[in-house]
Amino acid sequence: MRDLHARDRRTGSSTTAAARYLPAVLVEFLVQSVQLYAIVGLLFSLAFAWKGAAVVDPVATNATLGFRVLLLPGAALLWPLLAHRWWKAALAGSADIPSDHTEHWQRGSERLRSVALVMWLVLGPALVVVLVVAHLARSNGTPSTRDATQLPTVTSETKLMEDSR
Partner 1 sequence: MSVSYRAVQWNAAKKAYDRRLIVVIALYFAVFFLAASVAFETSPLILAMRACGTAAIALLIFILSIGPLARFSPRFSPLLYNRRHLGVTMFLLAFAHAALATLWYHGFGVIDPLTSILESGAAFEGAAQFPFQPLGLAALVILFAMAATSHDFWLRNLSPRVWKLLHLGVYVAFALLVAHVAFGVLQGAIWPGFAWMLAAAAAWIVALHIAAGVKEWRADRVRRALAADGWVRVGEVERIVEETTEGRAKAVVIDDCRKIALYRENGAFSAISGVCAHQGGPLGEGKIIDGCVTCPWHGYQYIASKGQSPPPFFEKIPTYELRIEGRTLYVHPQAKPPGTPVPPCKIAGLEGSPS
Buried/exposed code over 20-49 (b: 16+ C-beta within 10 A; e: otherwise) = eeeeeeeeeeeeeeeeeeeeebeebbeebb
Tell me the closest approach of the beta carbon of residue 31 to ligand HEM, in angstroms.
13
* Minimum CB distance to ligand HEM smaller for 7 or for 159: 7
CB 129 within 8 A of CB 138: no
Q: What angle do CA 40, 43, 47 make, to 5 degrees?
A: 130
d(CA 9, CA 156): 12
The H or E element that residue 103 is part of is helix 103-140
Supply the minimum distance, in Å, between the C-beta of residue 18 and ligand HEM.
24
User: CB 9 → ligand HEM: shortest distance, Å?
Assistant: 10
Q: How far apart are the C-alpha atoms of 82 and 76, rounded to whole Å?
A: 9
Nearer to partner 1, 61 or 91 (CB): 61
Residue with smaller CB distance to ligand HEM, 8 or 96? 8
Query: CB of 8: closest distance to ligand HEM in angstroms?
Result: 8
Nearest distance from C-beta of residue 139 to partner 1, angstroms:
10
The 3-state DSSP class for residue 152 equals coil
Interacting partner of 161 out of partner 1, ligand HEM, none (Cβ under 5 to 8 A depending on kind):
none
67-126 binders of partner 1 (CB under 8 A): 67, 69-71, 73-74, 76-78, 85, 97-101, 103, 105-117, 119-121, 123-124, 126
Using CB under 8 A, which residues numbered 22 to 51 contact partner 1? 22, 24, 27-28, 30-31, 34-35
Please choose which of partner 1, ligand HEM, none residue 107 contacts, taking the beta carbon within 5 to 8 angstroms, the exact cut-off set by kind: partner 1
Count of other CB atoms within 10 angstroms of residue 52: 24
